[in-house]
Amino acid sequence: MMWSSFDLSVINILWCFLASCFFVAFCAHKVSPRKYETCRVHAIFQDLIRYGKTKQNLKRDEWMRMLDVPKRWFWHFYAVSVGWNGFLLLLYLNFIYQHQSYPSWLIWILDVLTGVPSADSQVPQLSTLLVQLLLCVHSLRRLLECLFVSVFSDGAMHLVQYVFGLGYYVILGLTVLCSDRMGKGTGALVSQLDWLHVAGFLLFTGASLLQHHSMVLLAGLRTGKSGTVETFAHRVPNGGGFELVSCPHYFAELLIYVSLSFVFSGVSLTWWLVVLYVLFNQALAGQLCHDLYISKYDSYPRHRRAFIPFVL
């Protein structure tokens, strides 16, 4: 979809709604007066937006704790993503090389989400194929990091957050196909290659390395030189991107989604709405972590931003 028109498709409205929700949540957290901290609505709101270390000191009723699930279940999100988006990738490859259409149920879903009917003559798009591949690579890396790098304590997340996370990567994979449906490819796949694909791939690679390095540094705060876990305590991270921001892994996540917009040649409005959602989502999570570090450690570097260097 080109920038010249704003299509009020279901998928665009969905991402606008999600981005708006997290933007409002971010603003509400920033301006929320302390006098409301004892309010039940405020407690529920904080319970829904926090997870892990930012949730540990939150005053909650016992019934709220009953809705907790372990934060270490994060790996479930990436397992679902690898399986589902790998499946969609296989369907797209089958469409390219075997000229077979998608299953009827998937066609119906894409029809509803985009409002654009399927066309048997649609030309396969290199951008879609590359985004699917990179999304699978990203999900697989994060799955392996969760299983073999990260050291999770007994931190928790809300059941609503868990269910949302499982559905998120399902919708994300469908969004890639929606962008494909609303875009227009011309010519053979190789002939579609342009400099934005290369720029997107390079940014994706750099952001992925930044995120992985940040996850290794975080894990190192809890492990000894031998790699064995020595503590589950939270410590001040240093080195790498942590010298500029409290959460460089969140900044890297944003850059990864921006890179995928470049791979879409920068013309998929739908994917830019995904980027907008990721911006506000990661801004909220980063601000919560940043606030915790500042309140917990008197010597915490004051020059650090929350998650975007020199900006936020």
Per-residue pLDDT tens digits for 56-99: 878 888 888 899 999 999 999 999 999 999 999 999 999 999 98
Q: What is the CA radius of gyration of the chain?
A: 21
pLDDT of residue 230: 78
Residue 230 zone, left/alpha/beta (φ > 0; ψ -120 to 50; rest): alpha
Looking at the chain, the whole-number percentage of residues with pLDDT higher than 70 is: 95
Check if the beta carbon of residue 267 is closer than 8 Å to that of residue 3.
Answer: yes
* pLDDT for res 184: 72
Give the pLDDT band of residue 273 (cuts 50, 70, 90).
very high
Interior/surface letters 154-178, b for 16+ CB within 10 angstroms, e for the rest: ebbbbeebbeebbebbebbbbbbbb
Q: What is the pLDDT of residue 42?
A: 82
Tokens standing for 270?
Answer: 């739908």
What is the band of 38 on the pLDDT scale with cuts at 50, 70, 90? Answer: low
- The answer to whether 137 and 154 have CB atoms below 8 angstroms apart is no
Residue 224 confidence class, pLDDT cut points 50, 70, 90: confident
Q: How confident is the model at residue 291 (pLDDT cuts 50, 70, 90)?
A: very high
pLDDT value of residue 207: 98
Asked whether residue 204 carries a pLDDT value surpassing 90, the answer given is yes
Across the range 222-230, mean pLDDT stands at 79
pLDDT at 118 over 80: no
Closest CA to 21 of 161, 152, 140: 161
pLDDT at 91: 97
Which DSSP string do the residues of 196-241 spell out, in sequence order?
A: HHHHHHHHHHHHHHHHHHHHHHHHHTTB-TTS-B---------SGG
pLDDT in tens, 249-267: 999 999 999 999 999 999 9
Rounded mean pLDDT, 236-244: 95
**pTM for this prediction:** 0.94
Distance CA 156, CA 161 (A): 10
User: CA 26, CA 49: separation in Å to the nearest integer?
Assistant: 9
DSSP 3-state percent helix, strand, coil across the chain (nearest 5): 65, 5, 30
Contacts with 199 (C-beta within 8 Å, 6 or more apart), sequence order:
262
Mean per-residue pLDDT, 117-142? 90
Name the residue with tokens 């039940």. 40
Q: What is residue 36's predicted lDDT score, i.e. its pLDDT?
A: 60
Determine the Cα–Cα distance for residues 91 and 84; give it in Å rounded to an integer. 11
Amino acid 95: pLDDT: 92
Q: Would you state the pLDDT for residue 229?
A: 81
Task: Check residue 120 and give its pLDDT.
Answer: 58
Asked if the model's pLDDT at residue 225 lies above 80, the reply is no
